[in-house]
Amino acid sequence: MTTFPARKVIEVKDLHVHFFTYAGVVKAISGVSFEIYEGETFCLVGETGCGKSVTSRALTRLIESPGRIVKGQIIFYRDSGPVDIMTLSEEELREIRGREIAYIFQDPTASLDPLYTVGYQIAETMVAHKTADWKTAFRKAISILKSVIMPDPEKRVKNYPHELSGGMRQRVVIGISLSNKPKLLIADEPTTNLDVTIQAQILDLLRKLKKDEQMTLLLITHNMGVVAEMCTRVAVMYAGKIVEIGPVMEIFKNPLHPYTKGLLKAVPNPLSKIEKLESIPGTVPNLIYPPPGCRFHPRCKYMMEVCRSKEPPLVEVSEGHKVACWLYVK
Amino acid sequence: MPLASEEVYEKKFLDKITDKLVDTVAGIINKIKPGWIVKNKSRIDEWKLMFYAFNRSPPGVIGAILILGFILIGIFGPYFAPYSYREFLYIEYGETYLVPPGTTVVSKGKTFYFPLGTDKYGRDLVSLILYGARVSLVVSMIVIALGVPLGIILGLVAGYFGGKIDEIIMRITDTFLAFPALILAIAFAAVLPERLRPIIIYNEQLKTILSIFFAADPKDAANFAPILSVILAIIIVWWPGYTRIIRGSVLSVRENLYVEAARALGVSTWKILTRHILPNVISPVLVLITLDVGAVILVEAGLSFLGLGAQDPMVDWGKIVYDGAQFFPDRWWLVIFPGLATFLAVLGWNLVGDTLRDVLDPRTRRSIEFKIKKKKPVPSSEEGGSS
Amino acid sequence: MGETLIKVVNLKKYFPIRGIFFAKAKVKAVDGVTFEIRRGETLGLVGESGCGKTTTGRLILRLLKPTAGHVYFEGKDVFKLKGEELKKFRRKAQIILQDPYTSLNPRMTIFEIINEALEVHKIKVPDKEEFIVSWLRKVGLEKHHLYRYPHEFSGGQRQRIAIVRALIINPEFVVLDEPTSALDVSVQAQILNMLKDFQREMNLTYLFISHDLGIVKYMSTRIAVMYLGKIVELAPAEELFEKPLHPYSQMLLASIPIPDPEYALKKPKVEVYGEPPSPINPPPGCRFHPRCIRALDICSREEPPFVEVEREHYVACWLYAKR
């Protein structure tokens, strides 16, 4: 088990994000709190609608109407000291975005402008953040492509996105996000759209780059295998809340929350002989009218009376391992 | 989401009317096919929802009223006309020549009141407009009833089968689209009547049917030919537009998995076209049809204004303007009133068409829908039932 | 194992890419595939995008016309069937598609969607409604769902409706084309278990197409690995995972993220690199040779034959074939 330095990179306190749609108010995130420490790979894992993507975007206030961050603090520990992202102006935020906190999204094709060459787009990020002028930036672009293990970088730098394969595009996107040497890299399902052999290469690349650049990585995924291979700590989200959080070994060896247990039993491990996959009955709840009490209770086989009416708090069960479930509250 | 049947809506008075309408239609179908209402409850609810959305749009409702007026006047107008279109009062009562609106004429012991004035034959303008409504209605309805299905069928075939068939059909369509519509229509309207006239005159049944349609005197049978020619001319230039639109929609719907699933089941091509493809491409067409009715009325009026279409003594709105143009602007009523009637009819169809577009597009409809719902529907944490 | 239900012989499917006047080039989606499916088994078909697995599934069901090759169902050539025989084939061979959000006609009620299947194959039952409801109950739905529209249901429920539509006509063979890829993990397990139960009850034969190796192993008796339009390895499921022979299979298995963090630490490092080349211009000889660390000289010149290396374990690789 890794011991982590006490230095935090970012800290989220009681975050609430609501979407004000014509169908009603979708409470996408209701009271999410966690910290990410320097040098670790932190995973947010959950199924569709759990709020993991929204959380990642909220970290730099990338939430657009009809969504709004209605409550909470996001403390980002810059080199110059901690700041609450919620209090920053647009100008200050723009300095952080793309430079100190960088993103990689799920669809590399959508993240690249089809009208400009790949080299141009890498250079553009550097020029925009004033880390280099155009001439230097273009030269650096080639070395960045080398660092993301792009085959034939001198040729590729002049290519347009559509001339590259999915895996190569994702490498370019990673290159762009790393060009300004960010402190925190947020990767939102970076390999979900890619083939499995390409996925393995991209994940490898991320691991290597994280080490070389001494970055912190926030990885969002729904794939438990990716979590096991990449992360040091993981937070399991369900219906807009964190239900369990802890070091990755702990969570896999000793899952506490019934949802976490269910998730792990529902995923087939190709290395072991599985007799039967266990499924979780029911479906993800409607976040406009979430169930009262614990949001998982309608699907939980350990449900008790209290689960129906009161929301369980996040309690620490062992070192670093917290869970939000009435089964573990004295 | 709460089940559709559990949702409660804030209903307006208009909604209750449309609800009754939908229920009546459903009841009739139920009599023909027993048990239909139970099997199609979701469908009925959806229709009602679409009406609620429609009712929320004031222009749409105004348009619907105008259309209703147009159709009712078109059907029943001629029977309520104070005078027949053949009553050339001028011959006997000379003072009825081109009198302005609101005049009362007393002549030879008879009193005539003309609320909208008279034309050069002494015919009451109100009656003329009522008769003209029928012709406009019939012409636009026949053009749509014949032209649109033709366009749709060709579009379906071209889009679904692709390949050579698609090429052939689209090249024909492009050819027709390339023709300047008006010139083509004029050509047909000028040449065809000669051919059609003998057919109509010597066929008694045809003569009778057409006179009922046009609310005309069988003696005017010779004049049916030019009107039919105009109808045919418009149909010929009209269908390509539909083929293009339908083909485009079919190309995308064809790729949907439910079409593939139907093929895998072994469903016949005909059933795939009618059951799976057609219902999913029809929405944009419905909008286009309503907008087109207005356009056809205008085209038909235009052709009549050029002297094609209805000939003396038959009238349609364009013809009244044609006759009255020479007296404009002194005897302004002969141009203004039929023009106003045309304007209102076309406006009605356009307003309905626009509103229909908003209602039928699921995206815009949702936002209208949810404004209607009561603020506290039945909460439920499951969707669509247990799983 | 059971008798042979389906025999695929040298099946090819090329898609022309339109130039201005004539086909500029051909996408060789499936390029000479030969295998058997035995009654009662589940044959898994795995591979990455562009390998041809989806096209193969569609070809077997005659949803596409082959460029060359044959498919025999119960001994009869599928592409020569006509009329009644074709109808019978369609009843016996069904498909469940990937995307439950578009595989049901949004304008038809559930009753109409399922009833269509019964109508097409003229299946007569005394009470159609009750019959369909009984099937809905088998998949966990209720009677009051019968006259609703697809958009009122979740993805998992829609997929169950699609399953009822395919199975209610009592087929013998079902192609499952990535049936759970569009669903969440927790729902996925429900659907897979349901499919397994049905297979047992109705003695069905499955062709399970997927890119997710974990699921394929859970569902299949034998697995075929495809790469760029060809089958490179075919073996019983357990054996493929324990002893993958083809270098591509090895690369593929090494790439799967394993949900076990301890194993992830001590995992042997297998070189995974390269990208699948374009199926328009596949490399000469063995298609995998540009990415293969163990490539021999002959690999770039001649295509390796598909040989049985151990019992029921076939590979197309020069490392195992006699030269």
Model pLDDT, residue A234: 95
What would the pLDDT profile of B115-159 be if each residue is shown by its tens digit?
888 888 888 888 888 988 888 899 889 999 999 999 999 999 999
Q: What span, in angstroms and rounded, lies between the C-alpha atoms of A169 and A161?
A: 7
Residue C12's pLDDT band, with cuts at 50, 70 and 90, is very high
Residue B384's pLDDT band, with cuts at 50, 70 and 90, is very low
Whether B383 sits inside 8 A of A283 (CB atoms) is yes
Q: What span, in angstroms and rounded, lies between the C-alpha atoms of B105 and C71?
A: 90
Model pLDDT, residue B283: 82
Q: Which of A23, A281, A286 is opposite residue B383, by nearest beta carbon?
A: A286
Nearest CA in chain B to A21: B367
Residues 251-310 of A with CB under 8 A from C: 252-253, 262-271, 273-274, 276-281, 283-284
Q: Are B327 and B334 in contact (CB under 8 A)?
A: yes
Q: What span, in angstroms and rounded, lies between the C-alpha atoms of B242 and A304?
A: 62
Measured over the CA atoms of residue A267, residue A268, residue A272 and residue A275, the dihedral's sign is: positive
* Mean pLDDT of the residues in chain B: 82
- The region of weakest confidence among B110-114, C18-22, C147-151, C311-315 is C18-22
CATH at C308: 3.40.50.300
Q: Are B147 and B235 in contact (CB under 8 A)?
A: yes
- Which tokens hold the place of A100? 């100190």
Which residues of chain C have a CB within 8 Å of the CB of B262?
Answer: 105, 116
Whether C260 sits inside 8 A of A195 (CB atoms) is no
Selection from A264-268, C50-54, C167-171 with the highest mean pLDDT: C167-171
Q: Are B369 and B53 in contact (CB under 8 A)?
A: yes
Model pLDDT, residue B382: 37
Give the mean model confidence (pLDDT) for residues C206-212: 93
Which residues of chain C have a CB within 8 Å of the CB of A253?
Answer: 262
Model pLDDT, residue A279: 83
A323 in a structural domain? yes
What's the total number of domains in chain A? 1
Which of A226, A241, A233 has its CA nearest to residue A55? Answer: A241
Query: B interface toward A at CB cutoff 8 Å?
Result: 1, 366-367, 370-371, 379-383, 387
Whether C255 sits inside 8 A of A204 (CB atoms) is no
C106 in a structural domain? yes
Whether C98 sits inside 8 A of B257 (CB atoms) is yes
* CATH 1.10.3720.10 residue window(s) in chain B: 127-354
Nearest CA in chain B to C117: B265
- Per-position DSSP letters for A33-63, written without gaps between them: EEEEETT-EEEEE--TTSSHHHHHHHTTT--
Q: What span, in angstroms and rounded, lies between the C-alpha atoms of A183 and A214?
A: 8
Model pLDDT, residue C55: 93
CA distance B8 to chain A (A): 14
A138 in a structural domain? no
H-only helix segments in C64-184: 83-92, 110-120, 128-138, 155-167
- Can you tell me whether residue A301 is helix, strand or coil? coil
Q: Are C185 and C30 in contact (CB under 8 A)?
A: no
Which of C116, C119, C110 has its CA nearest to residue C141? Answer: C110
C100 in a structural domain? yes
Q: Which of C49, C218, C273 is opposite residue A277, by nearest beta carbon?
A: C218
- Can you tell me whether residue C76 is helix, strand or coil? strand
Q: Are C23 and C196 in contact (CB under 8 A)?
A: no
Q: Are B206 and B114 in contact (CB under 8 A)?
A: no
Chain centre to alpha carbon of residue A82? 21
Which residues of chain C have a CB within 8 Å of the CB of A163?
Answer: none
What would the pLDDT profile of B290-331 be if each residue is shown by its tens digit?
888 888 888 888 888 887 877 878 888 888 888 888 888 888
A262 in a structural domain? yes
Whether B382 sits inside 8 A of A23 (CB atoms) is no
The answer on pLDDT for B387 being more than 80 is no
C252 in a structural domain? yes
pLDDT (tens place) for every residue of chain A, 330 residues total:
455 557 889 999 999 999 987 677 889 999 999 999 998 999 999 988 888 999 999 998 988 878 889 999 999 998 888 989 888 888 888 888 888 899 998 888 888 998 999 889 888 888 888 777 888 888 888 888 888 888 888 888 888 988 888 888 999 999 888 888 889 999 999 988 888 888 888 998 898 888 888 889 999 999 899 999 999 999 999 999 999 999 999 999 999 999 999 999 888 888 777 777 888 888 888 888 888 889 999 999 898 888 898 899 999 998 889 999 999 887
A229 to chain C, any CB pair closer than 8 A? The answer is yes
Whether A286 sits inside 8 A of B381 (CB atoms) is yes
Q: What span, in angstroms and rounded, lies between the C-alpha atoms of A241 and A178?
A: 30
Each as own residue / partner, the long-range contacts of residues A280-285 (CB below 8 Å, 24 or more positions apart, any chain) are A280/C186, A280/C189, A281/B387, A281/C190, A282/B382, A282/B387, A283/B382, A283/B383, A283/B387, A283/C154, A283/C156, A283/C187, A284/A47, A284/A48, A284/A49, A284/A50, A284/A239, A284/C184, A285/A239, A285/B381
Q: What span, in angstroms and rounded, lies between the C-alpha atoms of A92 and A88?
A: 6
Q: Which domain holds residue C262?
A: 4-316
Cβ neighbours for A283, distance < 8 A, ≥ 6 positions apart? B382, B383, B387, C154, C156, C187
Phi, psi (degrees; rounded to nearest 5) at A30:
-130, 90
Chains that contact A by 3+ CB pairs under 8 Å?
A: B, C
> Which CATH number fits the domain B127-354, given the four candidates 3.30.390.10, 3.40.605.10, 1.20.58.2240, 1.10.3720.10?
1.10.3720.10
What would the pLDDT profile of C59-86 be if each residue is shown by its tens digit?
999 999 999 999 999 989 999 998 889 9
CATH at A210: 3.40.50.300
Q: What span, in angstroms and rounded, lies between the C-alpha atoms of B104 and B111?
A: 7
What's the total number of domains in chain C? 1
Phi, psi (degrees; rounded to nearest 5) at C34:
-135, 125
